[in-house]
Amino acid sequence: MKILLGLGNPGKKYKNSRHNIGFKVTKKIAGRHDLRPEKRLDSLLAECEIGGERIIIAQPLNLMNRSGRSAKKIADFYGLKPEDFLVIHDDLDLESGRIKLKMGGSSGGHNGVRSVVRSLESRDFCRLRLGIGRPPAGVSAADYVLTTFSVEEKKEVIEPAVKRAVDAAEFWCEEGCEMAMNRFN
């Protein structure tokens, strides 16, 4: 069993923010498999099979900085280890629209990832990072991640990146992190 954990903030206020791109990916995966997530374990959860592997698709229902609480509840309930996780999240240090898989390492300043690391007591999980670019001059990173994409950026850059991220996540389910990094990075 593996888990695709999309990071974001719950609620309409944050729905289309840059910070919620992890939610967009997990929502697309659930849609691709005609799933309807249910509220359980402080998350929206759905289960399916991808490549013969049982997969849990999850979106924490706590704020980004507390995403680890949901990750820990899911891990404990299903008996999952950190290496069973693919954490999908936004990344300021990647140009907008670029995706990159990475195994382990630091949180890179991402508070949602930091929360998952703390709660799972491990950095040994794969991350699927989606670039949202750096904030313009005079805009703080905290404010920038809560902005929305322009119509043009969404259509020409973000939607293709989300589709590629969905493909990468499903490939990870079948082949693991190293093979997914080789194919999608």
DSSP string, the chain: -EEEEE----SGGGTTBGGGHHHHHHHHHHHHTT---EEETTEEEEEEEETTEEEEEEEESS-GGGHHHHHHHHHHHHT--GGGEEEEEEETTS-TT-EEEEES---TT-HHHHHHHHHHT---SEEEEEE--PPPTT--HHHHTTSBPPHHHIIIIIHHHHHHHHHHHHHHHHH-HHHHHHHH-
The set of catalytic residues is: 19
